[in-house]
Amino acid sequence: EFPRARLVFVGGTNEAIVNQAFVHDLHARMRTLGVEAHVVFAGPMPNTQAAIAAADVVVYPSRCESFGLVPVEACAVGRPVVACRVGFAPHLAAMGAPVELADPATPASLAKAMVAAAGRGRVPPFTVPELTPAGAAQELELLLVQAANGARATSRFSITR
C-alpha cells in the first residue's frame, strides 16, 4: 500500500536496555521478508524534535508509560501519531488530537493504526491547552485549591475525595 515507505527507529540499541538477541532476530526477519531496505535504525539523536518534524507518522508503541512526551511533541508539529493505550495518549485522542490508538501486543493492530495515520497526511498542529505555560499554571492552581479542600490527586487530570 505504501511502496516507498521507510520505517525509521530513533533511539539506542544499548545492550544494557535492549535485548540484543531480539535485535538480531528482528534483522533476520526483515531480511526474510525483504523489507530490510525500508527500515533504518537511526540510533540515538540529540535533537528528537527534528526527527519528529521529518516524519510523516510518529509511532510510539510503548507498553508502559507514565506520560509519554513524544506523542504530545508530534501533535504539536502536526504529525499524526500511533500510540498505545498508556500514558497521556488516550487523553490526547479523546481531545481530538490526530492519535490512532493500537494494541502493542498485536502487530495487526499497530499496522492498521499506522495505515490509518498515514492516510491522514500532515495535520494542523494540535496543542494541549493544559500543557501551555498558562494552562499548566491554571492546572497547578486547581490542584492546590482542591488539595487544600481535602481532595486527593489521583492523576495529573483528575481529583477524587
5-14 tens-digit pLDDT:
888 888 766 6
CA distance linking residue 116 with residue 110, whole number of Å: 10
Q: Are 74 and 127 in contact (CB under 8 A)?
A: no
Per-residue burial over 69-103, b if 16 or more Cβ lie within 10 Å, else e, is: ebbbbbbbeebbbbbbebbbbebbbeeebbbbbbe
| pLDDT tens profile 143-158 | 677 777 776 554 444 4
pTM exceeding the 0.85 threshold for the entire prediction? no
Which residue(s) pair with 9 in the sheet?
41
Q: What is the pLDDT of residues 103-159, one digit of tens each?
A: 988 889 999 999 999 988 888 888 776 556 666 566 667 667 777 777 655 444 443
Element (H, E) at 24: helix 20-33
